[in-house]
Amino acid sequence: MPGRPLLTGYRFSVYTRAARIAFAEKGVGFDYQEYDPFAEGAEGPPHPFGRVPVLRHGRFEVYETAAITAYIDAAFDGPALMPADVEAMARAVQVIGIVDAYAYWPLVRQVYSHAVFRPAMGEPASDAVLVEGLAAAPRMLAAFEAVAAEGLVLGAAFGRADCHLAPMIAAFASAPQGAEMLAEYPALSTWWRRIAARDSLRQTARPLPNGAAGR
């Protein structure tokens, strides 16, 4: 049996947090290696596109967060993170797809980055980019609202869809404009209030230092 898994990630990455949430929900310990994909001249992790996270477990390496959370769910004991019901399973995969293809850029790279992250880091922020993200966000939130209201996932048992969406909403809602907008979606807001108090969300709220042992 392989030893402890090694997660390579970026401390501020919502995708790294998604993998950490999956580990926490499964109750699996792991080692952590920090890599900043935005640092100039940084030597990349074993990822052909120089991104994070990357998971190594024994001789096996896998990248892309959806693949990593699928591996964590299947490789380790603990509560299943993907529903057995075929409709709920399809809906969970749909949520993950929306997060990756559509929601990440406006919610995180535009709203969170320019309303919260860049000002906190003393980096220049753009009001124009922020406004663009806020204009795009309702379409994403409406899609998640429909899923949460349906009740197959995002309101049922905690699973991989929650692992992927939670860090995005946490980042988005940390901006005052994002929190105000989120409140307009009752089912999604109810989902967020409920899972924000979970141990896995609390445990992953703070970044891990390089070389840390995670849980």
Q: Is 46 helix (H, G, I), strand (E, B) or coil?
A: coil
Residue 74 structure tokens: 């299947």
Arithmetic mean of pLDDT over the chain: 94
- What ranges do the domains of the chain cover? 6-81+201-214, 86-200
Q: Which amino acid is at 188?
A: L
Position 43 pLDDT exceeds 90: no
How large is the average pLDDT for residues 63-89? 97
Q: What is the pLDDT of residue 38?
A: 80
d(CA 200, CA 163): 9
- Cβ neighbours, 10 Å, residue 41: 4
Model confidence at 32: pLDDT above 80: yes
SS (H, E, C) 83-126: CCCHHHHHHHHHHHHHHHHHHHHHHHHHHHHHHHHHHHCCCCCC
Q: Is 90 exceeded by the pLDDT of residue 59? A: yes
CB atoms within 10 A of CB 190: 14
Q: What is the mean pLDDT of residues 124-144?
A: 98
71 pLDDT above the threshold of 90: yes
Label residue 207 by pLDDT band (50, 70, 90): confident
Say whether 162 sits in a helix, a strand or coil: helix
- Residue 207 identity (one-letter amino acid): P
- Give mean pLDDT, residues 92-118: 98
Domain 86-200: assigned CATH number: 1.20.1050.10
Residue % of the chain over a pLDDT of 70: 94
Q: What is the pLDDT of residue 126?
A: 98
Contact indicator for 9, 35 with CB cutoff of 8 Å: yes
When comparing pLDDT for 211 and 151, which is higher? 151
pLDDT value at 213 more than 70:
no
Say yes or no to pLDDT of 159 above 70. yes
pLDDT tens sequence across 1-25: 588 999 999 999 999 999 999 999 9
Angle at which helix 186-195 crosses helix 127-150, to 10 degrees, equals: 90
Provide the pLDDT for residue 28: 96
Cβ–Cβ < 8 Å for 214, 29:
yes
Q: Write out the two tokens for 127.
A: 């009001």
Q: Does position 214 have pLDDT exceeding 70, yes or no? A: no
pTM of the predicted structure, to 2 decimals: 0.95
Q: Which residues pair with 213 in a beta bridge?
A: 31
Q: In CATH terms, is domain 6-81+201-214 a member of 3.40.30.10?
A: yes
Q: E-strand spans in the chain?
A: 6-9, 30-34, 54-57, 60-63, 213-214
42 pLDDT above the threshold of 70? no
Three-class DSSP category at 206: coil
Q: What is the pLDDT of residue 1?
A: 58
Q: pLDDT > 90: what percent of the chain?
A: 86
Over 90: is that where the pLDDT of 208 sits? no
d(CA 151, CA 145): 10
